[in-house]
Structure 1
Amino acid sequence: MAQYEQVNVRGYDEFCKAVSERQGKDIFVYFSGDKDAQGKSWCPDCVKAEPVVKGELAHLPEGSVFIYCQVGERAYWKDPNNDFKKTMHLTAVPTLQKYGTPQKLVEEECLKAELVRMMFTED
């Protein structure tokens, strides 16, 4: 039995709802490009990073929340006015972030298991 809650959301509104329902908990968010019907993201770095991030989930703090957020289709992501870029100041996918803190891993950093583990285990 996992000691954390995993939530899968798609888009900014679903993301905001998931976060607001879990206030007061440690929330870690993995932002990825949308997946197609075959389950493959349009973002090649996201495809490479996902198994690394998922492989470290056992290190999440007890009682924490892991949100897997698909940010949208490639065209939406490329729009500089999309909500993720404008409101959350995301610069790239994949991004792994400890919500509400400056702690985040971007692009290639998400491919390094030791960095992912550090984010999950350090206060």
Structure 2
Amino acid sequence: MVRQIVVEGFDNCMRTTEENKNSNVYILFSSSKVNGKSWCPDCVVAEPIVEECISKKSDDTVFIFCGVGDREFWKNASNPFRTDSRLKLKSVPTLLKWGKPKRLEENQCADKELVAMLLEED
């Protein structure tokens, strides 16, 4: 059973990963939405593909959709998503399994085969 959680910001994301540390946790880092619209065109393309693939998982999985803030905040090189040693994000969208080194970035997140492969790995 996949449980989907939407969070906004670094602190909320870290708290949610800690609360779910005994589950398989996947996180999609994406642009935050203003009036339901994303500022990142790559995120707009990737989000439905990732959501479709994650919905097919049947194990105990937690899927966190994390908004990284507005464009100005994201572009700041010192924002915590970029500087935190557990994340070191370079781009959005980024999909990763929490605690594992493999990740998909930018247009890779829009490739259904790559997303499915990442979600199948242990």
What aligned pairs does 1:34-73 form with structure 2 within 5 A after superposition?
34-37=32-35, 39-73=36-70
Q: Deviations over 1:68-91 (max 9, x none)?
A: 000001000000000000002000
Q: Give the superposition deviation at 1:61.
A: 4.8
Please tell me the residue identity of whatever aligns with 1:26: N
Give the letter aligned to residue 119 of structure 1. L
Question: Is 1:105 paired with 2:107?
Answer: no
Distance in 2 of aligned mates of 1:105 and 1:13: 22
Q: Hey, what does 1:89 align to over in structure 2?
A: 88
Gaps of 5+ in 1: none
Q: 3-state SS of the aligned residue for 1:51?
A: helix
Query: Is 1:116 the counterpart of 2:115 in the alignment?
Result: yes
What is the aligned length?
120
Higher strand proportion, which one? Answer: 2
Q: Which runs of 5+ in 2 are unaligned?
A: none
Matched residues in 1 for 2:113 and 2:9: separation? 28
% identical aligned pairs? 41
In 1, Cα distance between equivalents of 2:45 and 2:79 = 24
| CA distance in structure 1 between the partners assigned to 2:83 and 2:56 by the alignment | 31
CA distance in 1, matches of 2:112, 2:45: 12
Look up the SS of the partner of 2:118 in the other structure. Answer: helix
Deviations along 1:8-46, one digit per CA (max 9) or x if unpaired, are: 000001101101111121100000001011x11100100
Shift of 1:60: 2.6
Superimposed CA distance per residue, residues 54-74 of structure 1 (whole angstroms, 9 cap, x where no aligned partner): 111133351111000000010
Secondary structure of 2:101's counterpart equals coil
Which 4+ stretches in 1 moved above 6 angstroms? Answer: none
